[in-house]
Amino acid sequence: MFIKAFNIAEISKFNQEQRIAYEESVKYYRDLKNVIDKSYEDGQIRR
């Protein structure tokens, strides 16, 4: 819990440009993770 709060505090220090870059990075990661997870579910990739 402490680490999560620390990470939130660090992100809150970002300027607008850094925050936009961070949000784009998170969106890219989540999109990629969803594609991979869906491929596993559909049986296209074996674990």
pLDDT at 47 over 70: no
pLDDT tens across 26-43, in order? 999 999 999 999 988 888
Domain ranges of the chain: 2-41
Q: How many CB atoms lie within 10 A of CB 4?
A: 8
* Per-residue pLDDT at 26: 94
Concatenating the DSSP letter of every residue in 1-45 gives -HHHHHHHHHHHT--HHHHHHHHHHHHHHHHHHHHHHHHHHTTSS
- Indicate the average pLDDT of the chain: 89
* Per-residue pLDDT at 13: 93
* Per-residue pLDDT at 2: 78
pLDDT band at 8 (very low <50, low <70, confident <90, very high): confident
